[in-house]
Structure 1
């Protein structure tokens, strides 16, 4: 009888223990960093997270949202994690930061045939319609100087939508991560060689992070940070970043 009750207690406790190890995550459609493939979330950021936490008994429940929705969900929720999020001064106090999970290279991309588009300084951007994604790091950056420079920002909810608008001539410039622009163009059936980088934002060339809101359990965040720090200290992240940048070099076509 005692064995029966002991076994019953174990059956009750074990699922609860397993559930406590499942991380609730959100991300957006952001290839090659994060995207849905064969019903699962794939991409370089997901690969990093799996490699880092795979040996530490953490599982993942990942949902794919538009970026703005994922951003607000993680920021305002409790124990909800988002990737891939660029770290900026404006965002610093809104989240608890864990990572990094991938390299960020932000800029402006135009059609190669648009020889009339030449941008050497922020002030040159005002002559063109720029497509941004709501709450994306470049959208936030340009929104801060929009009124001062008279920028024409065409805001959308997704990156694929903006690539289609660029190719159709509905916007002059695609704003965001350079790798994403070239990857999406290829996935949507366009020739990446038809694109060129016309401007970059070096101050935004940092890393993407796994983040969670200020309401999240600090002990959980501390444990995840410890695991990530170990991964970085052992050189795992730098090795991944070198391989990734080498494989995506076409994204830095000559302006």
Structure 2
């Protein structure tokens, strides 16, 4: 059979098919698989009605939708998630407070929220505790194990830190008069208290120790291409206003951070 002059050859047709298929796969291929962890730290991440929810969870899910990433988000104790992040590879943990020490250990993408590291006490106690002057730093202060809040309290001079597995246990101890001081992130205090059956009106702030940016953290072995994909997705989320919408839903009294930073350990 004589093929018409304008008809492409079989070889040319197959080559064009291959090119189209390659382009399609390159564009639509899902992002690199990750093990994604978070902790119970409302309203950033927590379980409600047997469903994982929270501001950080919704942000990560929006990024996953953009990236066609279907990796499950697992709720685990903070110490377990943090250890997995450091041991790697291909682990993402949120939300992680930024510090100069952590910048050397992991890749950080964000910020997704800005909190403060603050010290709280039961309502009516702040004046008495502040009257101690430097003696306040000798008082027992509660925090949860492995947290940046415990680290910050130690750096600021608190010498007696009572460590618990979760912020909920720490808050319960404060309300049960086990100690008079509790250090945690300002954006979660009301939600943590609500989880244990108390309200924010039952505590008062004693002092603020530091400002704190919250990030998505990736193990340092994570491929550069994966980090770039998540960075581009976060830039898109903030540019389109979807990030701001989620942030206002959960933290209506806080300003959403609009910049996007990638912090990598030194080579």
Q: Same fold (TM over 0.5)?
A: yes
- 1:20-65: CA deviation from partner (whole Å, max 9, x where unpaired): 6553211111011111123332111001112233133112312222
2 CA distance for matches of 1:186 and 1:150?
Answer: 27
1 CA distance for matches of 2:170 and 2:158?
Answer: 21
The residue number in structure 2 matching 1:116 is 128
User: Does the CA contact (< 8 Å) of 2:40 and 2:75 recur in 1?
Assistant: yes
Following superposition, the deviation at residue 212 of structure 1 comes to 1.1
Q: Which runs of 5+ in 2 are unaligned?
A: 1-24, 256-267
The residue number in structure 1 matching 2:262 is none
Q: Does residue 219 of structure 2 align to residue 213 of structure 1?
A: yes
Shift of the 182–124 alpha-carbon distance from structure 1 to 2, 3 Å rule, reads farther
The residue number in structure 2 matching 1:5 is none
Following superposition, the deviation at residue 248 of structure 1 comes to 7.6
Following superposition, the deviation at residue 85 of structure 1 comes to 0.3
Give the number of the structure whose residues are more often helix, by fraction.
1
The within-5 A match list for 1:87-102 is 87-102=98-113
CA RMSD of aligned residues (A): 2.7
Aligned equivalent of 2:184, options 176, 181, 184: 176
Shift of the 92–119 alpha-carbon distance from structure 1 to 2, 3 Å rule, reads farther
The residue number in structure 2 matching 1:103 is 114
The residue number in structure 1 matching 2:172 is 164
- 1:103-150: CA deviation from partner (whole Å, max 9, x where unpaired): 3222111101324122798x45414210011221111122335xxx46
1 CA distance for matches of 2:42 and 2:173?
Answer: 18
Q: Which runs of 5+ in 1 are unaligned?
A: 1-13, 250-255
- 1:58-87: CA deviation from partner (whole Å, max 9, x where unpaired): 123122222122111112111111000011
Shift of the 195–96 alpha-carbon distance from structure 1 to 2, 3 Å rule, reads same
Aligned equivalent of 2:251, options 214, 238, 245: 245
The residue number in structure 1 matching 2:92 is 81
The within-5 A match list for 1:25-36 is 25-36=36-47
Q: Does residue 72 of structure 2 align to residue 61 of structure 1?
A: yes
Bigger radius of gyration? 2
Shift of the 210–110 alpha-carbon distance from structure 1 to 2, 3 Å rule, reads same
Q: Does residue 230 of structure 2 align to residue 230 of structure 1?
A: no
Following superposition, the deviation at residue 242 of structure 1 comes to 4.5
Following superposition, the deviation at residue 214 of structure 1 comes to 1.0
